Amino acid sequence: MTTITRENAATVTRAEVEDFLYQEAALLDEWDLPTWLDLFTEDAIYQVPCNDDPTGAGDRSLMLIDDNRLRLASRVERLGSRKAHREYPHSNLRHFISNVRILEQDSEVLKITCSMLVGRFRANRETWYCARADYDLLLSGGAFRIRRKRVALDMTTLRHSSDVAIIL
Amino acid sequence: MTITTTDTGLGSHHVIEEPESRTFRVRRTAMTSQDVFEAERERIFAHTWLYLGHESEIPDKGDYVRRPVGGRPLFMVRGAKTGEVNVFHNTCTHRGAAICRADKGSQKVFQCFYHAWTFDSEGELKGVPGEDAYVDEIDRAGLALQKVRTESYRGFVFVTFDPEIEDLTTYLAGARQYLDYVVDAMNGEVEVVPGTNEYGFDANWKLLVENSIDGYHASSTHDTYFKYLQTLGTDLSIGVSGVTKDLGNGHAVLEYRAPWGRPVASWEPLFGEDSKEEIAQLKADLVEKHGPEKAEMMTEINRNLLIYPNLVINDIMAVTVRTLVPTAPDRVEVTAWEIAPKGELPQLRQRRLDSFLTFLGPGGFATPDDLEALESCQQGFSSGGVEWNDISRGMGRAAQATDEEQMRAFWRRWRDQLDTTN
* Cβ contacts of A86 within 8 Å, gap of 6 or more: A163, A165, B368, B369, B371, B372
The answer to whether B126 and B118 are in contact (CB under 8 A) is yes
Question: What is the reported pLDDT for A101?
Answer: 98
- Chain A: give the shortest CA distance to residue B344, in Å: 11
Q: Are B41 and B33 in contact (CB under 8 A)?
A: no
Alpha carbon of A124: minimum distance to chain B alpha carbons (Å): 12
User: Of B128, B135, B137, B75, which is closest to residue B106 (Cα–Cα)?
Assistant: B75
Among the listed residues A129, A128, A168, the one whose alpha carbon sits nearest the alpha carbon of residue A24: A168
Residue A158 pLDDT class (50, 70, 90 cuts): very high
Nearest-angstrom CA–CA distance, B418 and A138: 61
CA A73-B235-B312 angle, 5° bins? 80
> pLDDT at position B2, please?
54
Residue B144, chain A, CB below 8 Å: the answer is: no
Q: Give the closest of B223, B357, B373 to A65, CB-based.
A: B357
Contacts of residue A24, defined as CB under 8 A and 6 or more positions apart, other chains included, come to: A36, A39, A146
Are the beta carbons of A50 and B195 separated by less than 8 Å? yes
Q: What's the rounded Cα separation, in Å, for the pair B160 and B46?
A: 7
pLDDT of residue B327: 96
Q: Do B227 and A60 touch (CB under 8 A)?
A: no
A158 contacts B197? CB cut-off 8 A: yes
Q: Report the residue from A65, A84, A87 with minimal CB separation from B363.
A: A65
Q: Contact B196/A160, CB-based, under 8 Å?
A: no
Residue B346 at interface with chain A, using a CB cutoff of 8 Å: yes
For residue A17, what pLDDT is reported?
96
Query: In this predicted structure, what is the pLDDT of residue B407?
Result: 95
Segments in chain A forming alpha helices (H):
14-29, 33-37, 69-79
Q: A157–B356: do the CB atoms touch at under 8 Å? A: no
Q: Residue B311 and residue B313: Cα distance in Å, rounded?
A: 7
A141: left (phi over 0), alpha (psi -120 to 50) or beta: left
Query: Using CB atoms, which residue from B221, B223, B353 is nearest to A62?
Result: B353
Percentage above 90 pLDDT, chain A? 90
How are beta strands A143-153 and A40-49 bridged, if at all? parallel
Do the chains contact at B231 and A158, CB–CB below 8 Å?
no
Phi, psi of B307 (to 5 degrees): -105, 110
Radius of gyration of chain B (CA): 23
Q: Which residue of B has its CA nearest to A160?
A: B200
Q: Residue A141 pLDDT more than 90? A: no
CB-CB: which of B196, B350, B367 is closest to A163? B367
pLDDT values of chain B reduced to their tens digit, one per residue, 422 residues: 555 555 579 999 999 999 999 999 999 999 999 999 999 999 999 999 999 999 999 999 999 999 999 889 999 999 999 999 999 999 999 999 999 999 999 999 999 999 999 999 999 999 999 999 998 999 999 999 999 999 999 999 999 999 999 999 999 999 999 999 999 999 989 999 999 999 999 999 999 999 999 989 988 899 999 899 888 888 888 777 899 999 999 999 999 988 777 888 788 877 878 888 888 888 999 999 999 999 999 999 999 999 999 999 999 989 999 999 999 999 999 999 999 999 998 888 998 999 899 988 999 999 999 999 999 999 999 888 999 999 999 998 999 999 999 999 999 999 999 999 76
pTM for this model (two decimals): 0.94
Helices (H), B186-251: 205-212, 218-221, 223-231
Interface of A with B (CB under 8 A): 48-53, 56, 58-66, 70-71, 74-75, 77-78, 81, 83-87, 157-165
Q: What is the pLDDT of residue B102?
A: 96
- Predicted local distance difference test score (pLDDT) of residue B4: 56
Nearest CA distance, A108 vs chain B (angstrom): 30
Q: Which value does ipTM take for this structure?
A: 0.94
Instruction: State the average pLDDT for chain A.
Output: 95
Q: What pLDDT is attached to residue A113?
A: 98
Longest dimension (CA), chain B: 79
| Nearest neighbour of B201 by CB, restricted to A62, A63, A162 | A162
- Give yes or no for a contact between B201 and B371, defined as CB atoms under 8 angstroms apart: yes
What is the DSSP code (8-state) at residue B195? Answer: -
Q: Which of A48, A62, A157 to mutate to test the interface with B (most CBs of B within 10 A)?
A: A62
Do B227 and A74 make contact, defined as CB atoms within 8 angstroms? yes
Amino acid code (one letter) for A131: A
- Whole-number Cα distances in Å, B422 to B14, B120, B154, B263: 18, 35, 30, 45
User: What is the CB-side half-sphere exposure of residue B344 using CA atoms within 13 A?
Assistant: 28
Inter-axis angle of helices B276-290 and B292-300, nearest 10: 140
Contacts of B96 (CB under 8 A, 6+ apart): none
Residue contact A60–B349, C-beta within 8 A: yes
Helix axes B175-185, B292-300, angle to 10 degrees: 80
Closest-approach residue (CA) in chain A for B195 = A62
Instruction: Kindly list the residues from chain B whose CB atom is less than 8 angstroms away from the CB atom of residue A66.
Output: 353-354, 357
Residue from B251, B340, B328, B265 nearest B297 by CA: B265
Helix (H, G, I), strand (E, B) or coil at B327: strand
Tens-place pLDDT, residues A31-71 = 999 999 999 999 999 999 999 999 999 999 999 999 999 99
**A131: which chain B residues are within 8 Å (Cβ-Cβ)?**
none
Question: Is B127 an interface residue toward A (CB < 8 Å)?
Answer: no
Cβ pair A146, A137 in contact under 8 A: yes
Identify all chain A residues contacting B361, using CB atoms and an 8 Å cutoff.
Answer: 62-64
- Quick check: B333 contacting A, CB < 8 Å? yes
Q: Residue range A116-123: average pLDDT? A: 97
The Cα-based distances of A150 to A68, A116, A130, B223 in angstroms read 12, 11, 13, 27
Q: Which of B231, B363, B373 sits opposite A48 (nearest CB)?
A: B363
DSSP B108: S
CA distance A162 to A11: 42
CB < 8 Å to B221, chain A: 85
Tell me how close the Cα of B27 comes to any Cα of chain A, in angstroms: 26
A64 closest CB neighbour out of B333, B357, B365: B357
